[in-house]
Chains A and B, each alone.
Chain A
């Protein structure tokens, strides 16, 4: 418990910082994800880093927010005042809202600033342009979600040879010279889901829904799941493309469920399809007859998981995908490029009915307003 004192301290400082904000569901969700991220999976890493920052724990908390910044510079060395750029492929997607919060919190703790940019529509050309602009601007570090096999290779190489560290988050490719990847091991998470499917559905037809086949951030998941399901030959998986937007996904999955009454399980590998699977099971009265599950923690997914319509979902901790890249880039710069960078797997966390309750209370608050 003593290891986590600094972590709790840091969380309290950040919450004190936000005390003037109106109490709204988003604020509670943000505080919840921050708390669970810092005291949950990354407790050890965060505690270690914050032990160094937490020298002013006895000071007043109003000074602590700014004190955190200057004490970080005095502890780590470096000049402070760093500016980081995070390049994203869907900048307005709500999935990345906790990611932005994580990055913002890391900046408050360390006394630096960050910029959230990229494309709204997975436009690789726009993302490459933003990355090059950040390099031209001479920022201190760049975090980018690598959503293309080759397009980012030479821009990232140019950035690194120009002295700007680049890490990847949320999506990764082989052959790219980025320094580290912070995110979910997509293939392994798919394998884990496949193993859980085999436990839930001993035999029969299972539908696997994927929003956009071929997309680099979800295709490896389904590949992993199918590979794991090969070990259970009594299960017959069927891969179905559900579509890029949630309404379309819902219609596709509803039509599939109606047309295939013998399906024993419906599982998905992206957030929108998982929510649609849960809603379909609920709307068509398939609870108990059809097992369901998938990825991410959209509101309906969590509620319906709690109520037993689906059995499992995977949390990839989007908060950490913003917090840790900033932390790593900061330490890399402050230590003079000696240390700071490390690959981090943020999400092999299976959430089921027994562990979903804390998630539910935050999103219930999110929905009561």
Chain B
């Protein structure tokens, strides 16, 4: 059979050749910006430079220590939320888990379990909460927004009932000092930061290199296709919700140990919910699912934390703080959107 010989000469020009590498530094910048996290890194750096130049005492060692609790907790919660959001779902109960689990930890310890055992029980309970969420969403079929909203109210109510609306003091802490357990789990100056870095690194590796992460992206991008390809969609959804609730409960314990009390205030925890989701979205995870980045969630949380800390250091009063935070978030997202066009234009998607 005669085979049409391939045309001589070079292949016809197409997208492949349009992407000729630009020279030197510009090429590097372009490649950097095509990272999903590229734009938010640029914006965070600009914000840091702004505060460093306009507020003295921002770039000091003591302020770095102050800055850590502004973003480390939210980074961890946002990281868990990223996995859920990549699936195209959302978990609104992370604030309530953040509120409830420290109380549960205190209760279980009060019943007589030693510290580590109480911690393990509390974290297992957080995982159970996530599993219930996942069950309602993937097996029963309720939309994630509604299911996790219901769980939010249930957990808030359980917390208030259990605690009689009274704050409790966390184990291993007292008015005079903190024990080793507390030092590791939140009270030490760098403890939250180290936990955040470790968890972010672990989760980013999971997202990019393991089957867990790859299946998550597949289910998020094309649920039907993933199911047809043999991925167990239910399992993927449930384990992502489990991880999300686990991380939220863990952060709740870290923060309660850091401030030495757990306060049963649902309005505060709703605030935390918004911050965590904002960090995830600003960091580059799409609300519609299919794509996301854990490192971006860390940078997003850092951006929000730097903004908040910097504005307080500059002496901005509470009412203006909300205004500036909102404006900064809008500007950051506008920049994000423009830069993401660079990314899609370059074909890396």
Contacts and interface: CB of A to CB of B under 8 A. Distances in A.
Nearest to A100: B317
Given A132-B66, A138-B57, A212 B268 contact: no
B315 A214 contact: no
Interface residues of A, number: 41
A136 B175 contact: no
B261 A151 contact: yes
A241 interface: yes
Contacts of A213: 164-166
Contact of B312 (A122, A134, A212): A134
B316 A137 contact: no
Given A150-B173, A175-B175, A241-B165, A119 B268 contact: yes
Contacts of A138: 56-57
B318 A136 contact: no
Given A213-B165, A214-B164, A91 B319 contact: yes
Interface string A115-159: 111111111111011101111111100000000111101000000
B250 to A, nearest CB: 15
A148 B259 contact: yes
Interface of B: 55-58, 60, 62-63, 65-66, 69-70, 164-167, 169, 173-175, 255, 258-261, 263, 265, 267-268, 270-272, 308-309, 312-319, 321
Contacts of B55: 137
Interface in A64-114: 83, 85, 88, 91-92, 113
B59 to A, nearest CB: 10
B63 to A, nearest CB: 4
A123 B312 contact: no
Interface of A: 83, 85, 88, 91-92, 113, 115-126, 128-130, 132-139, 148-151, 153, 175, 212-215, 241, 244
Given A138-B57, A215-B165, 16 more contacts: A88-B318, A92-B318, A115-B312, A117-B321, A120-B271, A122-B265, A122-B267, A124-B263, A128-B259, A133-B313, A137-B57, A137-B313, A148-B261, A150-B169, A150-B175, A214-B165
B260 A151 contact: yes
A131 to B, nearest CB: 9
A244 to B, nearest CB: 8
A137 B57 CA distance: 5
A135 B173 contact: no
A212 B167 CA distance: 11
Contact of B315 (A113, A122, A135, A241): A113
A153 B187 CA distance: 13
Contacts of B317: 115-117
A345 B319 CA distance: 28
Given A115-B316, A122-B268, A150-B169, A136 B260 contact: no
Contacts of B65: 132
A83 B260 CA distance: 29
A128 B271 CA distance: 16
Contacts of B308: 129
B10 to A, nearest CB: 61
Contacts of A120: 271, 318
